[in-house]
Every structure is written in C-alpha cells, then in structure tokens.
Amino acid sequence: MSPSSEAVADLKSQILRDPDAVLDDRDIMKALISAGGGSLGRNVVDLRGALVDRLEDRLDRLEHTHRSVIAAAYENLAGTNQVHRAVLNLLEPVEFDGFLRVVGWDLPGLLSIDVVRIGLETDALPPGSAVGPTGDLHDLVVSLAPGGVDAYFGEHPEAPQRRTILLRQSLADGALVYGDDARWIRSEALMRLDLGRGRRPGVLLFGAEDPHRFSPDQGTDLLRFFGGVFERVLGRWLA
C-alpha cells in the first residue's frame, strides 16, 4: 500500500471512529461541500443534508435554551417585583395592628402564597398557642417552646451553623404552627428571625397548597432579603 493510500485509510478510520468531529467542524464541512461541486452520486453521502440536519438540531436546542432563559428572567423579575411591593407594604403601617394586618392579609396576595405564620419562642404559653392578635388574625402569631425554631428547622441545638432559610415540600409538624390549615398545606418556606440581643429567635413561615411553590432546588436570595427586612421591622415594633 502506497503512503498516500495509507494516509487515506488512516483518515477514513478516524472519521468512522468519530464522525461528529467532521460534522461539527465548520471548516472541514465547507471544504467537503466545495469539493462536491454540487454533483453527488447515488453512493455518496449528501454532506449538505447532513450539515443542514445538524444545524437545524443546533437551532432547535438554541431556541429551547433561549426560551428557557427568557422565561427564567421574567420569573425572576416578577418575583423581585412581588418582594419589593411586599417590603413597601411592610414599611407603610404606623401602628402595630396595621403591620400585623399587612402580614396576615396582604402578604399572601402579594407573594402568591396561601398562609403566613410568625413563630415566636416563649415559655409563657404552650407550644402552638395563639399569641395574638385577636379577631381574624388570632392565629397569625403562634408560640414555640424554647429551642422550637431549631426543632422546626430540623436543626440540632448544638449545631455550629444553622440554616436561615429552608424550602421544603413536607411539613415537619405543620399542625404546630398552621393549626387546621396544615391539612392542605403542601409546601413551605421558613425564614429564621433574629429579633435582637436578649430576645429569643423567631421564624416567619409561608405556606402554600401548591406542592411545587417551594422546593429545595429553588433559589433563596429574594426570601433571604425579605426575611432580613421583616426581622428588622418586627424587631423595631417589639422594641
């Protein structure tokens, strides 16, 4: 076999081992198509067709990625706008009762959730008791035993680091904080609240009937921001 024949055989074996290397190389495809001169026999692979098919497949993937990116961007923008409106509503009341009404009545609609609860650790009331206020919002604030925030998060009391945000699709002990509403709540978001020096921690809870509203694979930046604002506003009211 001549050196040129050996080179051709070697090139052929390389192409057969990895044909995608040829199809994915723009320069090679241009050279092959130009060499074809537009006259392709019955036994010759239509490289133009193969290239077009490959480009159509790439275009389909690119369009899918493009749509996904745009959808995610719109979703993130909508979530950001929701949180910003909710924060502005939190800052508006000039009385504590007004603040609680915003939390209990307005936040669910603003944030597309179904129920809000505030859990505060205290040894003055049995766990799960309504702390106040009276009326329609009597179950907005519930008592937790000392260490109850860690327990509801599923944290060990002596853990060196504690989660400040937790999203999950199953409730640890939903009846403790949601009461009868726990029957239909399928996902929740927990935000640990640091209420200042000398005060026990609290927790802000968002509950949703939709099991996919909150899940561990979702981002937490917006909830972390909202929880930080909420704990500062609540801490000032408690002061």
SS (H, E, C) the chain: CCHHHHHHHHHHHHHHHCHHHHHCCHHHHHHHHHHHCCCCCCCCCCHHHHHHHHHHHHHHHHHHHHHHHHHHHHHHHHHHHHHHHHHHHHHCCCCHHHHHHHHHHHHHHHHCCCEEEEEEECCCCCCCCEEECCHHHCCCEEEECCCHHHHHHCCCCCCCCCCCEEEECCCCCHHHHHHHHHHCCCEEEEEEECCCCCCCCEEEEEEECCCCCCCCCCCCHHHHHHHHHHHHHHHHHHC
Residue 43's pLDDT is 42
pTM over 0.85: no
Domains of the chain: 3-63 (no CATH), 81-238 (3.30.450.40)
178-230: pLDDT as tens digits: 988 889 999 999 999 998 888 899 999 999 999 999 999 888 999 999 999 99
Tokens of 224: 């972390």
CA distance 80 to 168: 21
In this structure, are residues 49 and 56 in contact, taking their beta carbons and an 8 Å threshold? no
Residue 171 pLDDT > 80, yes or no? no
> Comparing 231 with 135, which gets the higher pLDDT?
231
CA distance 85 to 70: 22
Reported as a pLDDT band with limits 50, 70 and 90, residue 44 is very low
